């Protein structure tokens, strides 16, 4: 009796029961991710309403398995009922400031799944480069990518990402940010961007998309028709942030238009004009949309089911105020402001990300219900494949837990213990996640 191992009879099977699988479909905002996991003597049962919950439960199950000194794998008897607090838990990757090879994106999707993230916000193009190979407008990437042969995402690449994500219960929401952040669109779409003027002469530089030309809207319609068919998710992210009005203001034709429309000097009205038309176009293509907060701040007319993405946080407007304003106006909100993981600093900054309470703003319960989740953003100005993984993980794990777990789960010491152990788990799975603090893992990272 003394020498008997402490373990019960070995389990050889994990039974997975899904009531309405939907294995061939795509995950969406309303997907059910709840699951139940029962580990008892002689049987392990994972049950979920939909396949998406089973995936989450499988991840949890994989984290419950331990190994003793003799090498025996074991699992404690347990009963878990789990479901996410927020339905939209995303990671933003920026493939314009730096191209990210396919394997980097796929690896990120893997680690997102380990962290129960379920949205990949693909900020695919921007000012510096246009790596998206468009079938309708092949010149866009041919002229706009850093290198049209090596630094592009072909249609096949995009399909690969979407399917790889789907198999992990991750939605892919592409962002084609306009009218600002579009410099790389210019070379491949002559006439799209506004020519800037200096003392009545074109200066040779360009600004945001030209909102006064019909050709602009023809182009936008065709491009978004393609994007709508390529990306299966109901939502598209349309950007709309940081539109610099100086170029518009310098262009005589635009000034004339402003006069005609009676906009005075208020270029926000011109921006709204563009955005409204864009939203109509995208709507008519059967898609819903997410926009950065400026679109709401600048009083653009948007559909009631628009999702406003809150990203700013400054002395003039703290993000909590914005969250209150957005939800008070009746719109759904996504929070990213405190989760700009590209903003690195010395020390354990994951704690700041973890301490965020998304619903900590002035508002009634109906407002709070409009917060659908948040996103950890990894903007690419200083990030490429050489440092993406250690910079994203395990820091993004703090955001993941904040978005999945109950609001009462906030003990820092406990979180540190679990996150540092999880980091070692990530290392064991081949992920180059950086350390939280001093210490070591059983399986240290060693370059291959």
DSSP 30-80: T----EEEEEETTEEEEEESSHHHHHHHHHHHHHH-EE-TT--EE---EEE
Binding other proteins (rule: CB under 8 A), the pick from 328, 390, 410, 418 is: 390
Q: What is the DSSP letter of 433?
A: P
Q: Smaller CB distance to other proteins: residue 112 or 383?
A: 383
Minimum gap (Å) between residue 392 Cβ and other proteins: 11
**Contact range with other proteins by CB under 8 A, out of 211-219, 295-303, 369-377, 383-391:** 383-391
* Number of residues in the chain: 448
Minimum gap (Å) between residue 342 Cβ and other proteins: 7
User: Contact between 387 and other proteins (CB under 8 A)?
Assistant: yes
Contact of 27 with 48, CB cutoff 8 Å: no
Q: Does an H or E element contain 239, and which?
A: strand 235-239
Minimum gap (Å) between residue 111 Cβ and other proteins: 13
User: Contact between 444 and other proteins (CB under 8 A)?
Assistant: yes
Q: Any catalytic annotation for residue 321?
A: no
d(CA 373, CA 358): 8
User: Contact between 345 and other proteins (CB under 8 A)?
Assistant: yes
Query: Max Cα separation, the chain?
Result: 95
Total residues binding other proteins (CB under 8 A): 29
Minimum gap (Å) between residue 388 Cβ and other proteins: 9
Minimum gap (Å) between residue 417 Cβ and other proteins: 17
User: Contact between 68 and other proteins (CB under 8 A)?
Assistant: no
Contact of 61 with 46, CB cutoff 8 Å: yes
Give the x-and-dash track for 363-382 against other proteins (CB under 8 A): -------------------x
Contact of 96 with 184, CB cutoff 8 Å: yes
**Residues whose CB falls within 8 Å of the CB of residue 149, separated by 6 or more in sequence, listed in order:** none
User: Contact between 438 and other proteins (CB under 8 A)?
Assistant: yes
Q: Please give the backbone phi and psi of residue 378, each rounded to the nearest 5 degrees, phi first.
A: -120, 80
Binding other proteins (rule: CB under 8 A), the pick from 344, 369, 412, 417 is: 344
Choice among 218, 242, 301, 357 that is catalytic: 242
Minimum gap (Å) between residue 150 Cβ and other proteins: 8
CA-based nearest residue to 325, from 356, 298, 303: 298
Q: Restricting to residues 417-436, name those near other proteins by CB under 8 A.
A: 427, 432-436
User: Contact between 437 and other proteins (CB under 8 A)?
Assistant: yes
Q: Restricting to residues 229-288, name those near other proteins by CB under 8 A.
A: none
Contact of 178 with 216, CB cutoff 8 Å: no
Minimum gap (Å) between residue 416 Cβ and other proteins: 14
Residue 286, both tokens: 């059967």
Give the x-and-dash track for 131-170 against other proteins (CB under 8 A): ------------------x---------------------
d(CA 133, CA 148): 9
3-state DSSP call for residue 314? coil
Residue linked to tokens 């628009």: 306
Q: Smaller CB distance to other proteins: residue 365 or 439?
A: 439
Binding other proteins (rule: CB under 8 A), the pick from 346, 364, 408, 413 is: 346
Contact of 282 with 305, CB cutoff 8 Å: no
User: Contact between 351 and other proteins (CB under 8 A)?
Assistant: no
User: Contact between 101 and other proteins (CB under 8 A)?
Assistant: no
- Residue 198 forms beta bridges with which residues? 201
Q: What is the DSSP letter of 153?
A: B
Binding other proteins (rule: CB under 8 A), the pick from 67, 259, 303, 343 is: 343
User: Contact between 70 and other proteins (CB under 8 A)?
Assistant: no
DSSP 182-200: -GGGTTTSTTSEEEEEETT
The alpha carbons of the chain give a radius of gyration, in whole angstroms, of 24
User: Contact between 342 and other proteins (CB under 8 A)?
Assistant: yes
Minimum gap (Å) between residue 431 Cβ and other proteins: 9
Binding other proteins (rule: CB under 8 A), the pick from 386, 417, 429, 430 is: 386
User: Contact between 314 and other proteins (CB under 8 A)?
Assistant: no
Q: Please give the backbone phi and psi of residue 57, each rounded to the nearest 5 degrees, phi first.
A: -65, -35
Order of all β-strands in the sheet with 43-48:
14-18, 43-48, 35-40, 78-82
Minimum gap (Å) between residue 343 Cβ and other proteins: 5
- State the sign of the Cα–Cα–Cα–Cα dihedral 290, 192, 280, 246: positive
The residues of the shown chain that bind other proteins, judged by CB under 8 A, are 149, 342-348, 382, 386-387, 389-391, 427, 432-440, 442, 444-447
Q: Which residues are catalytic?
A: 242
């Amino acid at each position: 009796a003394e020498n008997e191992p402490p373990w019960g009879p070995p389990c050889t099977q994990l039974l997975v029961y899904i009531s309405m699988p939907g294995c061939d479909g795509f995950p969406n905002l309303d997907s059910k991710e709840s699951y139940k996991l029962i580990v008892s003597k002689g049987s392990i049962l994972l049950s979920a309403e939909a396949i998406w919950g089973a995936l989450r439960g499988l991840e949890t199950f994989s984290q419950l398995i331990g190994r003793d000194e003799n090498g025996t794998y074991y699992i404690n008897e347990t009963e878990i009922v789990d479901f996410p607090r927020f339905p939209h838990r995303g990671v933003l990757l920026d493939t314009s400031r730096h191209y990210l090879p396919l394997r980097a994106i796929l690896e990120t999707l893997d680690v997102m799944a380990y962290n129960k993230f379920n949205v990949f916000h693909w900020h695919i193009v921007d000012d510096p480069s246009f790596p998206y190979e468009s079938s309708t407008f092949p010149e866009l990437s041919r002229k706009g990518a850093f290198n049209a042969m090596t630094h592009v995402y072909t249609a096949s690449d995009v399909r690969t990402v979407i399917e790889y994500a789907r198999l992990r219960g991750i939605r892919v929401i592409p962002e084609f940010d306009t009218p600002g952040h579009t410099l790389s669109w210019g070379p491949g779409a002559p006439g799209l961007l506004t020519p800037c003027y200096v003392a009545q002469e074109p200066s040779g530089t360009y600004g945001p998309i030209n909102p006064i030309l019909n050709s602009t809207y023809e182009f936008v319609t065709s491009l978004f028709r393609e994007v709508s068919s390529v990306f299966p998710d109901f939502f598209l992210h349309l950007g709309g942030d940081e539109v610099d009005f100086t170029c518009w203001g310098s262009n005589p034709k635009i000034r004339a238009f402003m006069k005609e429309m009676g906009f005075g000097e208020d270029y926000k009205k011109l921006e709204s004009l563009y955005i409204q038309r864009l939203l109509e176009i995208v709507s008519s293509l059967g898609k819903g949309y997410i926009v950065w907060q400026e679109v709401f701040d600048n009083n653009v007319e948007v559909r009631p089911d628009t999702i406003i993405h809150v990203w700013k946080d400054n002395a003039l407007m703290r993000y909590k105020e914005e969250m209150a304003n957005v939800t008070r106006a009746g719109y759904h909100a996504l929070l990213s402001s405190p989760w700009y993981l590209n903003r690195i600093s010395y020390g354990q900054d994951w704690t700041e990300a973890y301490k965020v309470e998304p619903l900590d703003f002035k508002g009634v319960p109906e407002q709070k219900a409009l917060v659908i989740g948040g996103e950890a953003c990894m903007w690419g100005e200083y990030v490429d494949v050489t440092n993406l993984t250690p910079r994203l993980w395990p820091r993004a794990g703090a955001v993941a837990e904040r978005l999945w777990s109950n609001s009462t789960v906030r003990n820092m010491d406990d979180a540190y213990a679990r996150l540092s152990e999880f980091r070692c788990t990530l290392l064991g799975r081949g992920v180059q996640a950086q350390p939280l603090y001093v210490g070591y893992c059983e399986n240290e990272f060693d370059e291959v």
